[in-house]
Amino acid sequence: MAEVEVRDLTKTFGRLTAVRGMSFTAPAGKVTGFLGPNGSGKTTTLRIVLGLVREDAGAALIGGVPYGRLLRPRQTVGAMLEATGFHPGRRARDHLRVIADAAGIPGRRVDEVLAQVDLTSAARRRVREFSLGMRQRLGLATALLGDPRVLLLDEPANGLDPAGIAWLRGLLRSQADEGRTVIVASHVLSEVAQTVDHVVIVSAGQVRFAGPLDEIGSTNNALESAFLKLTAAAG
Amino acid sequence: MLPLIRSEFRKLSTVRSPWLLLAAGPVLVVAGVTGLVQSGGNVHDPATAGKALAHVALAALFTLIFGIFAVAGEYRHGTVTDTFLSTPARGRVVTAKLAVYASAGAVAGLACGAVALVVTAAWWSAKGGSFSFSAAGSWRILAGGVAVNAAFAAIGVGVGALLRNLALAIAAALAWIALVEGIAGQLVGAGLARWLPFSASQALGRANLTGTARLLPQWGGGLVLAGYAIAFAAAAMVTTLRRDVT
């Protein structure tokens, strides 16, 4: 199994230091909540972990290896980012097949993940006809396509109805219970409190807290209070 | 590399817009040949047939824009993130795109060539002339035209990768061909102007638009255009490898 480790990570865009000396580990077999206000460096950190953005200093490793050196990236890490887009004229199934081709994933996985996210009936429709919730589920299907050991999800519940949110919670739980590493970045603290084992709170490019949710307390209020306190102080 | 090439072909075959764009090529050829004949082209002069067939090279304008979509289109639709997540070795992605788009460009050129032959032969017989394939030097013109299409597709991939913004890349390419190269040519003088990319393509495709421009020989145009394609591809490779995808 593969844990995700971020070590002294630093990234500056022009005059803006987005990430400064960030360090944390997301353990295997647990759901880790990655929390932080807008502009906290959360998204930048995730993009560095995924090799989309190059760090100025430090390291981001998956099972001890940077993303760019993974032999089979999609089979190791499944990512769902907010900025990921779809060609509006392409059918959902073809979107997944394009990725399966490039990543060397067998074609039957496409139908398997479509069934897993309940998009089988919409598989032949073009993405421009999809609602937000359907796009989110297609993004989730993309992340699951390679049956990866690590799941990295940014606001996965966005646009899902209550049944979908409950289903997602169950999915993340079962993935973690199988020993996979699950990282969920989210603003919805009440949902996070119900789902995660481990919490990393960041603001202004640095880690403010990293540890089991139990240390904060798992009631809604406990997480929210801790979050606001930790992220306000840093400014 | 093979899985990447398969993926790039599937990207093209699963949407309609690139094909609509390429379909404009044969339409341009029909219009161009028809215009040539209707405006008094002499069907008894083999050189006129040559001018008709040379429209294949001119249709490469659409192939250029087609190539620009390769990378810039992915940025536009946000699919570039998934592409680089699947293949963090970005140089291989650019290589696969160059191979696939240049091949598609060549096929587009062949389609335009076939259409050009048919339309030219049809007009010639309608106007009482006889179209002679060899007298018109057709092989050289059509081969050159196909090569221009392939090269422009590759150059388009490079331009799109460098600029990343789809609308900007298309506007820049069109502005260059329509206006900027002409002005640049005047600045550097006629001797050097023929080394500029559009002039080189006119030499390769034997498509001397004005009939008065000094052009390189056909093989020279081919080498120069290949050089531009390699230069743009290399620049695209370097920038794509280094840049952050935010």
Question: Using one digit for the tens of pLDDT, what is the confidence trace for A33-82?
Answer: 999 998 899 999 999 999 999 999 999 999 999 999 999 999 999 999 98
Q: ipTM of this predicted complex?
A: 0.95
The token pair at A166 is: 């409950």
Beta-carbon separation of A51 and B17 below 8 A: no
CB contact at 8 A, B123 and B43: yes
Tell whether B241 is within 8 A of chain A (Cβ).
Answer: no
Residue B198 CA, distance from chain mean position: 10
Residue B5 has pLDDT above 90, yes or no: yes
- Short-list A159, A181, A208, A223, CA closest to A41: A208
> What's the pLDDT at A76?
97
Q: Which amino acid is at A15?
A: R
List of residues 6+ apart from A233 with CB closer than 8 A: A208
- Short-list B193, B216, B195, CA closest to B204: B216
- Short-list B139, B149, B71, CA closest to B107: B149
> What's the pLDDT at A232?
87
User: What proportion of chain A, given as a percentage, has pLDDT over 70?
Assistant: 97
Tell whether B86 is within 8 A of chain A (Cβ).
Answer: yes
Q: Which amino acid is at A169?
A: R
Residue B191 has pLDDT above 90, yes or no: no
More confident residue, B137 or B231: B231
CB contact at 8 A, B185 and B98: no
Rounded to whole angstroms, the Cα distance separating A227 from A208 reads 9
| Prediction pTM value | 0.93
Q: What are phi and psi of A196, to 5 degrees?
A: -95, 160
CB contact at 8 A, A222 and A42: no
DSSP lists the bridge partners of residue A151 as A78, A182
Tell whether A167 is within 8 A of chain B (Cβ).
Answer: no
Beta-carbon separation of A102 and B3 below 8 A: yes
Q: How close, in Å, is residue A221 to chain B by CA atoms?
A: 34
Model confidence at B47, in pLDDT bands (50, 70, 90)?
confident
Tell whether A16 is within 8 A of chain B (Cβ).
Answer: no
Beta-carbon separation of B77 and A86 below 8 A: yes
Instruction: Give me the sheet containing A57-62, strands edge to edge.
Output: A16-26, A4-13, A57-62
> What's the pLDDT at B48?
87
Model confidence at B132, in pLDDT bands (50, 70, 90)?
confident
Beta-carbon separation of A68 and B16 below 8 A: no
User: What proportion of chain B, given as a percentage, has pLDDT over 70?
Assistant: 98
Residue A221 CA, distance from chain mean position: 24
Residue A137 has pLDDT above 90, yes or no: yes
CB contact at 8 A, A162 and A188: no
Contacts of B82 in chain A (CB under 8 A): 84, 99, 142
Rounded to whole angstroms, the Cα distance separating B221 from A12 reads 45
Tell whether A102 is within 8 A of chain B (Cβ).
Answer: yes
Tell whether B183 is within 8 A of chain A (Cβ).
Answer: no
pLDDT digits (tens, 9 = 90+) for B199-236: 999 999 988 876 667 889 999 999 999 999 999 999 99
Q: How close, in Å, is residue B202 to chain A by CA atoms?
A: 35
Q: Is B192 helix (H, G, I), strand (E, B) or coil?
A: helix
pLDDT average, residue stretch B172-200: 91
Residue A52 CA, distance from chain mean position: 14
- Short-list B105, B103, B93, B96, CA closest to B66: B105
pLDDT digits (tens, 9 = 90+) for A175-185: 999 999 999 99
Model confidence at A156, in pLDDT bands (50, 70, 90)?
very high
pLDDT average, residue stretch A12-37: 95
Model confidence at A174, in pLDDT bands (50, 70, 90)?
very high
Tell whether A72 is within 8 A of chain B (Cβ).
Answer: no
Residue B137 has pLDDT above 90, yes or no: no
- Nearest 5°: the CA angle A79, B94, B62 is 115
> What's the pLDDT at B40?
85
User: What proportion of chain B, given as a percentage, has pLDDT over 90?
Assistant: 79
> What's the pLDDT at B129?
81
> What's the pLDDT at A148?
97
Beta-carbon separation of B15 and A50 below 8 A: no
Beta-carbon separation of A99 and B7 below 8 A: yes
User: What proportion of chain A, given as a percentage, has pLDDT over 90?
Assistant: 84
> What's the pLDDT at B177?
93
- Short-list B152, B158, B164, CA closest to B231: B158
The token pair at A100 is: 């399966």
pLDDT digits (tens, 9 = 90+) for A114-123: 999 999 999 9
> What's the pLDDT at A234?
57
List of residues 6+ apart from A16 with CB closer than 8 A: none
Residue B93 has pLDDT above 80, yes or no: yes
DSSP notation for A61-115: EETTB-GGG-SSHHHHEEEE-TT----TTSBHHHHHHHHHHHHT--THHHHHHHH
Residue A4 has pLDDT above 90, yes or no: yes
Q: Which CB contacts under 8 angstroms, 24+ apart, belong to B163-172?
A: B163/B72, B164/B71, B164/B72, B164/B75, B165/B72, B165/B75, B165/B76, B166/B68, B166/B69, B166/B72, B166/B73, B166/B75, B166/B76, B169/B68, B169/B72, B170/B65, B170/B68, B170/B72
* Residue of chain B whose Cα is closest to the Cα of A139: B82
Residue B128 has pLDDT above 90, yes or no: no
Residue B109 has pLDDT above 70, yes or no: yes
CB contact at 8 A, A187 and A201: no
